[in-house]
Chains A and B, each alone.
Chain A
Amino acid sequence: MEPKSKTTFERTLIRNTKILGLVTLAWVLSMALASFGPGLLWDAKGITALVIALNAMFGVGMMLANMRHIRAQDELQQKIQLIAMGVSLGVAVVFGLSLSLVETTHLLPIEVEVAHVVLLVGLTYMVTLIVAIRRYS
Chain B
Amino acid sequence: MKNRLKVLRAERDWTQADLAAELDVSRQTINAIEKGKFDPSLPLAFKAARLFGLTIEDIFIDESGAE
- Interface residues of A, Cβ cutoff 8 Å to B: 1, 3-4, 7-10, 13, 73-77, 79, 133, 135-137
Contact = CB atoms under 8 A, between A and B. Distances in A.
A137 B29 contact: no
5 contacts: A1-B13, A4-B18, A7-B24, A9-B26, A76-B32
A137 B31 contact: yes
A75 B29 contact: yes
In this complex, which of B13, B17, B21, B40 has the most chain A Cβ atoms within 10 angstroms of its Cβ?
B21
Contacts, number: 49
Interface residues of B, number: 20
B44 A75 contact: yes
B38 A136 contact: yes
Nearest to B32: A136
A135 B37 contact: yes
A129 B40 CA distance: 20
B14 A76 contact: no
Nearest to A5: B21
A134 to B, nearest CB: 11
B5 to A, nearest CB: 14
Interface of B: 12-14, 17-18, 20-22, 24-26, 28-29, 31-32, 37-38, 40-41, 44
| Nearest 5 pairs of A and B residues by beta carbon | A74-B25, A76-B29, A7-B21, A136-B32, A9-B24
Contacts of B20: 7, 9
A7 to B, nearest CB: 4
Contacts of A76: 25-26, 28-29, 32, 38
B28 A75 contact: no
A75 B25 contact: yes
